[in-house]
Structure 1
Amino acid sequence: MPEHFDYIVIGGGSAGYAAARTARETRERVAIVDAADTLGGLCILRGCMPSKTLIYSAEILHLAKLADRFGLNIPVAKADMPRLHQRKLDTIAEFAEYRQEQLASDRFTLYRSKASFTGARELTIADGTVLTADKFMIATGSSVAWPPVPGLKESEPWTSDDVLELDHLPESVIVLGGGVVACELAQLLHRLGSRVTQIQRSPHILKEHSPEASTVIEEVFRGEGIELITDTQLQQVERTEKGFRVTFEHAGKTIVREAAHLLNALGRKPATDGLGLDKAGIELRKSGHIVTNELQQTTNPDVYAAGDVAGPHEIVHVAILQGELAARHATGRTAQPVDYDALVSIVFTDPQIAYVGIPEPDLKERGIDYVSADYPFDDHGKSILMEAKHGFVKIHAEKSTGRVVGAECVGKDASELIHSLAVGVALKATAADLLKTHWYHPTLSEIWTYPLEDVLDG
């Protein structure tokens, strides 16, 4: 006989665990199905935590190499790759252990297996066991994408997983892509001491952010010594005796670059292969994401989806919000859709990029009458004394009310600075409201007062 549950989650990452935990608040029989060799999910094991651990170390190394600017004498500064790797392992171990303990606790029934839908409310796992449930959650995340570039997949280049496991310094690396992962890892590798060439198809890297923000990062990358080539068309990837050869078109010419290693950072895709979604009546978008409504229900109302597999934003805190929302709705409780108009998005390059609220192109598309104001870091006291002069802050406010609807920060610690405005956007505060705050001097945060005052005056 099939094993029946109140709620079954497929995938034990951020979205899946959040959904299982929330469902367990009111339901006794909750199961989690996860086929990963190691439990924990992308963020903890192969994403946010290991990458930011390494990026922070590389930032310290970068500053040490600039010691003269700060009146310091640091004769030698270089990466100790085995120790760097071990620090990363030690740092993420506690997070991973906690998640694994939670998933394997007696609060849930855990199946370490692959699962596939064999009916509208039926799963079959690898050993043939049949599971049924009142409600389901799909939270299988994403996997590395392999665009149809001749020779790319066959040459077996690195993915982000491989870079995050390095215990030695690669002599040279070609990075394919200009998204968040590509940019963060290109700068990481360069600052650790590798020779890096980054090749991007679009005219700008980080194209999901404003051209002004992307331009700042491009200038910094090139200034640091990364060979960044944008507006290209990849032609071929080859494995050679010494490493890799990449052929591409740029400015009407055929260009070749060679390096000891190649990183495929051309994006990720929703992990839906083998789930048998058609047998459950679950449809996909053209992007490959599972179709969901504002409550995370798929085209099968008893099945929900959250996180990278659903989109529209592949961000951990969004995955958690979606998972909690879906589980609350599935268990008959009040559930408010995720407010994407208060979305926070961050890129951990240096300088960092951070945005909250409605992006400026969307403001225009929606016909929202707004005013904007910005201010540069190179005219700000704290950033000047920190030698952190790259970038700017920018605020968008609804013209009729002064309500802040969006804010962008490109600069030192933008990931921290953005939350001052994130609170304001979420609470629908006006520029006048935010100026009631005591903005301490000298801090990086007080830079927000300048565009806030301009918006208020405008």
Structure 2
Amino acid sequence: MTVRMRLAVAGMTCESCNRHVAGALRVAGAADVEADWRRGEATLTVDDGADLDRMAAAVRDAGYTPGEVTRLDPVSPDRDGGGSDVDYDLLVLGGGSAAFAAAITARDAGRAVALVESGVLGGTCVNVGCVPSKALLAAGEAAWQAARHRFDGVPHATGPVDVAALVAAKDELVGQLRQAKYADLVDAYGFEVIAGRGRFVDPATVEVAGRRIRAGAFLIATGASPAAPPVPGLAEAGYLTSTTALELKETPRRLAVLGANAVGLELGQYFLHLGAEVSFVEVADRIAPFEEPEVSAALAEVLVEQGARVLTGARVRTVARRGEVRVLDVEVDGETVEVAAEELLVATGRSPNTAGLGLAAAGVAVDERGAVAVDAGLRTSNPRVWAAGDVTGAAQLVYVSAYHGALAAGNALLGADRRVDYTGLPRVIFTAPQVAGAGLTEAQARAAGHEVKVAVLPASEVPRALVARETHGLVKLVADADSDRLLGASVLGAGAGDVIQSAVLAIRHGITTAELAATFHPYLTMAEGLKLAALSFTRDVTTLSCCAA
């Protein structure tokens, strides 16, 4: 029999320390070792009765100070251990990325798992989110580029876009990925899917279609849904959401977009690229309000150049429908502006799907936004229940949901005692050009108490942007002024979502801007912009020859 243990370790200061401690413990006979220098501990699996003094000695020999050892007992009972009255080790409410990540983790550990899903498998991302929207965005950008040219001597062509064909191709792709990445995995891993809507009837029981199910542990992974602000007349006028906008088979003549963050910007530009007259209406003082101000300003310039109307600091007072036209009365700088459009897209956020789950009966608390309240290990106020993904109010990114699901299952079933760590978390807005960021913005770094230094490099200083004739954009780096450690990065430019991964690794592993500047970056790639931005902390990159450092 194996047990999970936590060993306090003093003296670790970086990711390299993590590797040294983990390696020493593995040599001493431990398995599944995870060292965390930020928390000053290592978690490991050993045989019950293993020589813990040997583990401590291994850490000491590696140059660190071992401390208290704590046994981490799994919460979920072993169904094969006799006397258990549970139907499953883990019962998951939901069938999206968090749910499947949890189910795979549990099945890898040999546990019995069931998912409760009332709709189609796959959740938001594959069905009505990331996959279908990005498929349409790519098509829209292709149509836009075909009608224009950046290079002398290259002809361009215009013509109507068959939007219905785009939607049909998108639907086909969604069906393929839903089958391959979700439905086929049910049998491959050997867990169950129970059709229906689940709700707690007590702290240890969920009811689905009249069947009462008990489990050693429960995971709430029900996601979130588009929400609309309480604007007078909005419901009566009718509007599109991020889900229904993907089904439009004709381009509206005019489109108003309420909310200019990721979803609103992406879908608004998609229809702009197809030929619609698009007006963005954002209550904040800039579009993409959670990105760096320089990024927001540069992206707004791009959208205006492409023909969009951008209203910021704008409050929608009323919405009315006049025939087939929606009319928004918008207050901007104390004056009323009228925005008229045949279609209105509301992209002002999403609300956690917690209604009807019986959370009160389960003793599961929610926060002021209605999200399931969890601790750093994703455990709720009911010690038998965990939650993961969008329903927790965390960043609504599919990779965060999957990370949550695996972490929660490990904590619930294996006593892993892991805590969420978002260091270097990337984000991408799939506009053209793309927006990508990782880590802290300048404002966030200052709010966290850092003395910061920043570098802003315009895309016109990146050779790749010059040869591609795509100089709208920039790279911004935020570093700790004392240690030079990179804290955050933002990129606006072609392929920004790919470029940002280098910054993710740099932030995650505590790399300095000097180290980033000294790292090889291929010439004539957008990734070189990170190197040039890092170099600009110490010298004028406009006076350097190609690839000079």
When normalised by structure 2's length, the TM-score is 0.80
Amino acid at match of 1:22: T
Percent identity, please. Answer: 31
Please list the CA deviations of residues 77-107 of structure 1 after superposition, one character each: whole Å capped at 9, or x if unmatched. Answer: 4422122122212322221112122246671
Partner residue, 1:59: 141
Report if the CA contact (8 A) 2:116-2:198 is conserved.
Answer: yes
Please list the CA deviations of residues 181-212 of structure 1 after superposition, one character each: whole Å capped at 9, or x if unmatched. Answer: 11111100010111212211111111111221
Please list the CA deviations of residues 110-159 of structure 1 after superposition, one character each: whole Å capped at 9, or x if unmatched. Answer: 1110011111111111x211011110110100011122111212332111
Report if the CA contact (8 A) 1:34-1:114 is conserved.
Answer: yes
Partner residue, 1:334: 416
Report if the CA contact (8 A) 2:442-2:452 is conserved.
Answer: no
Partner residue, 2:108: 25
Q: Secondary structure of the equivalent of 1:337?
A: coil
Amino acid at match of 2:485: R
Q: CA deviation at 1:316?
A: 0.9
Amino acid at match of 1:284: V
Report if the CA contact (8 A) 1:104-1:110 is conserved.
Answer: no
Establish whether residue 115 from structure 1 lines up as the match of residue 198 from structure 2: yes
Amino acid at match of 1:297: R
| Inter-CA distance 346–335: structure 2 relative to 1 (3 Å threshold) | farther
Partner residue, 1:102: 185
Amino acid at match of 1:261: E
When normalised by structure 1's length, the TM-score is 0.95
* Residues 311-322 of structure 1 mapped to structure 2, 5 A cutoff: 311-322=393-404
> What is the aligned counterpart of 2:446 among 358, 364, 382?
364
Q: Secondary structure of the equivalent of 2:383?
A: coil
Instruction: Tell me, in whole angstroms, the C-alpha distance in 1 between the residues paired with 2:498 and 2:359.
Output: 40
* Residues 249-328 of structure 1 mapped to structure 2, 5 A cutoff: 249-328=331-410
| Inter-CA distance 442–106: structure 2 relative to 1 (3 Å threshold) | closer
| Inter-CA distance 105–10: structure 2 relative to 1 (3 Å threshold) | farther
Instruction: Tell me, in whole angstroms, the C-alpha distance in 2 between the residues paired with 1:381 and 1:451.
Output: 13
Instruction: Tell me, in whole angstroms, the C-alpha distance in 2 between the residues paired with 1:242 and 1:432.
Output: 58
RMSD of aligned alpha carbons: 1.8
> What is the aligned counterpart of 1:150 among 207, 232, 236?
232
Instruction: Tell me, in whole angstroms, the C-alpha distance in 2 between the residues paired with 1:138 and 1:259.
Output: 39
Which entry has the higher C-alpha Rg, 1 or 2?
2
Establish whether residue 430 from structure 1 lines up as the match of residue 512 from structure 2: yes
Amino acid at match of 1:4: D
Partner residue, 2:329: 247
Amino acid at match of 1:123: V
Q: CA deviation at 1:337?
A: 2.0
Higher mean C-alpha deviation, range 99-108 or range 13-22: 99-108
Partner residue, 1:172: 254
Instruction: Tell me, in whole angstroms, the C-alpha distance in 1 between the residues paired with 2:211 and 2:312.
Output: 50
* Residues 38-57 of structure 1 mapped to structure 2, 5 A cutoff: 38-57=120-139
Report if the CA contact (8 A) 1:283-1:291 is conserved.
Answer: yes
Q: Secondary structure of the equivalent of 2:305?
A: helix
Please list the CA deviations of residues 209-258 of structure 1 after superposition, one character each: whole Å capped at 9, or x if unmatched. Answer: 12211111111111111111111111111222123222221222222222
Partner residue, 1:403: 485
Partner residue, 1:206: 288
Partner residue, 1:80: 162
Instruction: Tell me, in whole angstroms, the C-alpha distance in 2 between the residues paired with 1:231 and 1:369.
Output: 30
Partner residue, 1:12: 95
Amino acid at match of 2:360: D
Partner residue, 1:237: 319
Q: CA deviation at 1:70?
A: 4.4
Instruction: Tell me, in whole angstroms, the C-alpha distance in 1 between the residues paired with 2:407 and 2:157.
Output: 53
> What is the aligned counterpart of 1:384 among 466, 479, 504?
466
Amino acid at match of 1:8: L
Report if the CA contact (8 A) 1:64-1:77 is conserved.
Answer: no
Report if the CA contact (8 A) 2:146-2:157 is conserved.
Answer: no
Structure 1 regions of 5+ residues with no counterpart?
none
| Inter-CA distance 147–75: structure 2 relative to 1 (3 Å threshold) | closer
Structure 2 regions of 5+ residues with no counterpart?
1-84, 541-549
